[in-house]
Copies of this chain bind each other. A is one copy, B any other.
Amino acid sequence: MAESMNGLKRSHRCGELSLSNVGETVTVMGWVAKQRNKGGIIFVDLRDRSGILQVIFEESDAGAEGFAKAEKLRSEYVVAVVGKVEKRAGAVNENLATGEIEVRASQVRILSEALTPPFPIEEESKTKEELRLKYRYLDLRRPDLQSKIILRSKITMAIRKFMSEEGFLEIETPMLTKSTPEGARDYLVPSRVHPGNFYALPQSPQIFKQLLMCSGYDRYFQIARCFRDEDLRADRQPEFTQVDMELSFVDVDDVIAVNERLLKFICKDAIGLDVQLPIARMTWQEAMDRFGSDKPDTRFGMELVDVSKTVAGCGFGVFTSALENGGSVRGINAKGQAEMPRKKIDALVEFAKGYGAKGLAYLCVLPDGSYKSSFAKFMTEEQLKALVEAMDAEPGDLLLFAADKNSVVWNVLGGLRLELGRQLNLIDNSKFNFLWITEFPLFEWSEEENRYMAMHHPFTMPMEEDLAMLETEPGKVRAKAYDIVLNGTELGGGSVRISDDKIQERMFEALGFTKESAYERFGFLLDAFKYGVPPHAGLAYGLDRLVMLLTGADSIREVIAFPKVKDASCLMTEAPNVVDQKQLDELGISINPIEEKE
């Protein structure tokens, strides 16, 4: 039977006590992390969100009744303790912030008893994630998980403080909105009042924030929940949180400048990290050429080298036919890995195939200067030497080459570079390498749709100097778009938006829209832009990912209090779930009979 606090007031959190409190009578409350009886003295580790505190019970201080209660305490009981802070009699516990003191209990109340948890509440839990997610309310007690959720709260507060000081207004946009057939799959919400009609949950506040610029709000931000009904990859959630912003009367450099200050502020505030400004910038073209990725991890080298010119006209058909088809031959140099066992090299070839390569050519420059290679026999000694030189290779190096159209070569070598970086332990985990990627292509060619698609979205502004090519060479037009990358992960991205309706029309034409079909899709935004629209630009961060990186978490599920799993369900609440027929009737919808699988 639980006791009530009955007027007791907590004076301190557990972790707030230190040597400076010695001699004070305090009242602390929390969960029993451990209880042990050692020679007639009961030691209790008391835990709350601030830390762990050692409480000792002796009958002389706690009285017979208090001591008897202390004997009954088990893990996860909730107790209130009144006692005196003392310098620790035993050895100082250096693992605890409160390790130099203890509280000698004079009074104890059991506020709640507890069953034995289905798994131990401990840091770096070995319990499998499914069980922990089912009992998420217990898993959330783990101090290492708690510290991440607490840091997330600190980070969002820092963001808001900064944005508000920079004149951004936080404005809420609707969650029950209209389905737009562009982009990812929408979550739909049936309307009861308008049977047969549906709201959609927002994939982002994009259109609303552009409207707010049109309405003169000048600087908007929002930490907004967004929804995408996509099949979940490792680090995706059906609902996720976006730090969303939009600014009027600005160009690329203005957006970058304010976001650099934001990132510096957050990093300092949240994890005490000094970010040096300005953050490095790299064009999309350079990022692809050097790292085979538009979100390069620059914490290590092993950059791509274009050897197309060097191997042009060599006898190796894989290389030359790639070149003839307009592609390229590029390589990376795995320094000192010449003696990598064949089995491991074969595994790399398989890895590369997973990234779209037909194969992977390798050349080991052995310590004695001789070569072991999959393709040496197709080349002259001179050609091989030129290739080795082009790759800046020394005896002991392993060279890996891909030959295909550029997009495949980049993808393969970009992936391989990261894989080798991990395998060979080349990545300095203490580094926080921020990087802007700029000048993205405006379009990407879709084989599937046989037309150009907007790489960002159809409202992205082309670079002025490329405007003339919009009709003639759309593939070469660069956009006023930018991504911010941290250690090889895209934290966020954005663009300057088109605010000139003539350019917007040309953009839609380039995308293959008629005026009518464009209007059908983006009607009320286009309407709005007829009544005076300022130049504007914006950016959005994935908050879950940002917090994951700053807290050093392995997964976004560690920085979300109640995450969902891969099939988009919540193991704790068992959502989604069946509902009453009455609810469906009110909404005027029916569940389709399940088709038999053939």
Q: Which residues of B contact A585 (CB under 8 A)?
A: 592
Q: Which residues of B contact A170 (CB under 8 A)?
A: 153, 156-157
Known contacts A179-B577, A198-B576; decide if A29 and B169 are in contact (CB<8 Å): no
A122-130, A215-223, A338-346, A549-557: which one contacts chain B? A215-223
Q: Is A18 positioned at the interface, with any CB of B under 8 Å from its CB?
A: no
> For chain A residues 425-451, which have a beta carbon within 8 Å of chain B?
none
User: In the bound complex, what is the Cα–Cα distance between A532 and B146 (angstroms)?
Assistant: 17
User: In the bound complex, what is the Cα–Cα distance between A177 and B573 (angstroms)?
Assistant: 7
Please give the count of copies of this chain that the complex contains: 2
B5 close to A251 (CB less than 8 A): yes
Q: Is A561 positioned at the interface, with any CB of B under 8 Å from its CB?
A: yes
Chain B min CB distance to A231 (Å): 8
Q: Is A407 positioned at the interface, with any CB of B under 8 Å from its CB?
A: no
A108-116, A305-313, A328-336: which one contacts chain B? A108-116
Chain B min CB distance to A553 (Å): 15
Q: Is A239 positioned at the interface, with any CB of B under 8 Å from its CB?
A: yes
Q: Is A326 positioned at the interface, with any CB of B under 8 Å from its CB?
A: no
Q: Mark A559-598, 1 if CB is under 8 A from B, else 0.
A: 0111010011110111111111001011111111010000
> What residue of chain B has the Cβ atom nearest to residue A77's Cβ?
B532
Q: Which residues of B contact A502 (CB under 8 A)?
A: 1-2
B586 close to A589 (CB less than 8 A): no
A83-91, A182-190, A368-376, A385-393: which one contacts chain B? A182-190
Q: Is A456 positioned at the interface, with any CB of B under 8 Å from its CB?
A: no
Q: Is A137 positioned at the interface, with any CB of B under 8 Å from its CB?
A: yes
Q: Which residue from B198, B248, B533 sits with its C-beta under 8 Å from A577? A: B198
A592 close to B583 (CB less than 8 A): no
Q: Which residues of B contact A241 (CB under 8 A)?
A: 172
User: In the bound complex, what is the Cα–Cα distance between A117 and B214 (angstroms)?
Assistant: 13
B13 close to A193 (CB less than 8 A): no
Q: Which residues of B contact A513 (CB under 8 A)?
A: none
A56-64, A286-294, A347-355, A523-531: which one contacts chain B? A523-531
B577 close to A531 (CB less than 8 A): no
User: In the bound complex, what is the Cα–Cα distance between A190 and B146 (angstroms)?
Assistant: 32
User: In the bound complex, what is the Cα–Cα distance between A31 and B149 (angstroms)?
Assistant: 43
Q: Which residue from B195, B464, B533 sits with its C-beta under 8 Å from A591? A: B195
Q: Which residues of B contact A177 (CB under 8 A)?
A: 570, 573, 575
B535 close to A4 (CB less than 8 A): yes
Residue of A531, A589, A590 most packed against chain B (CB within 10 A): A531
Q: Is A150 positioned at the interface, with any CB of B under 8 Å from its CB?
A: yes
> What residue of chain B has the Cβ atom nearest to residue A160's Cβ?
B160
A48 close to B218 (CB less than 8 A): yes
Chain B min CB distance to A382 (Å): 52
Q: Which residues of B contact A192 (CB under 8 A)?
A: 185, 229
Residue of A193, A501, A578 most packed against chain B (CB within 10 A): A193
Q: Which residues of B contact A39 (CB under 8 A)?
A: none
Q: Which residue from B216, B239, B249, B572 sits with its C-beta under 8 Å from A140? A: B216
Known contacts A153-B171, A188-B587, A189-B201; decide if A113 and B10 are in contact (CB<8 Å): no
Q: Is A37 positioned at the interface, with any CB of B under 8 Å from its CB?
A: no
A141 close to B111 (CB less than 8 A): no
B29 close to A249 (CB less than 8 A): yes
Q: Is A534 positioned at the interface, with any CB of B under 8 Å from its CB?
A: yes
Range class of the A interface residue count:
35 or more
B574 close to A178 (CB less than 8 A): yes
A589 close to B588 (CB less than 8 A): no
Q: Which residues of B contact A524 (CB under 8 A)?
A: 572-574
A239 close to B176 (CB less than 8 A): yes
Chain B min CB distance to A7 (Å): 8
B137 close to A150 (CB less than 8 A): no
User: In the bound complex, what is the Cα–Cα distance between A524 and B161 (angstroms)?
Assistant: 36
Q: Which residues of B contact A49 (CB under 8 A)?
A: 216-218
Known contacts A174-B562, A187-B176; decide if A533 and B575 are in contact (CB<8 Å): no
Q: Which residues of B contact A114 (CB under 8 A)?
A: 530-532
Chain B min CB distance to A327 (Å): 37
Q: Which residues of B contact A575 (CB under 8 A)?
A: 174, 176-178, 199-200
A239 close to B174 (CB less than 8 A): yes
Q: Which residues of B contact A66 (CB under 8 A)?
A: none
Q: Which residues of B contact A188 (CB under 8 A)?
A: 189-190, 579, 583, 587
A576 close to B191 (CB less than 8 A): yes
Q: Which residues of B contact A569 (CB under 8 A)?
A: 193-194
Q: Is A76 positioned at the interface, with any CB of B under 8 Å from its CB?
A: yes
Q: Is A138 positioned at the interface, with any CB of B under 8 Å from its CB?
A: yes
Q: Mark A205-221, 1 if CB is under 8 A from B, else 0.
A: 00010011011111000
Q: Which residue from B29, B146, B530, B588 sits with its C-beta under 8 Å from A115? A: B530
Q: Which residue from B211, B238, B500 sits with its C-beta under 8 Å from A137? A: B211
B576 close to A194 (CB less than 8 A): yes
> For chain A residues 22-81, which have a beta carbon within 8 Å of chain B?
29-32, 47-49, 76-78, 80
Q: Which residue from B169, B464, B586 sits with its C-beta under 8 Å from A4? A: B464
Q: Which residues of B contact A590 (CB under 8 A)?
A: 589-592
A215 close to B178 (CB less than 8 A): no
Question: Assuming A140-B217, A200-B575, A590-B591, what are 11 further A-B pairs, CB within 8 angstroms?
Answer: A4-B500, A29-B248, A48-B216, A140-B215, A173-B562, A178-B570, A191-B568, A195-B591, A196-B591, A198-B577, A212-B561
Interchain residue pairs A-B with the least CB separation, the first 5: A114-B532, A140-B215, A197-B576, A178-B575, A191-B576
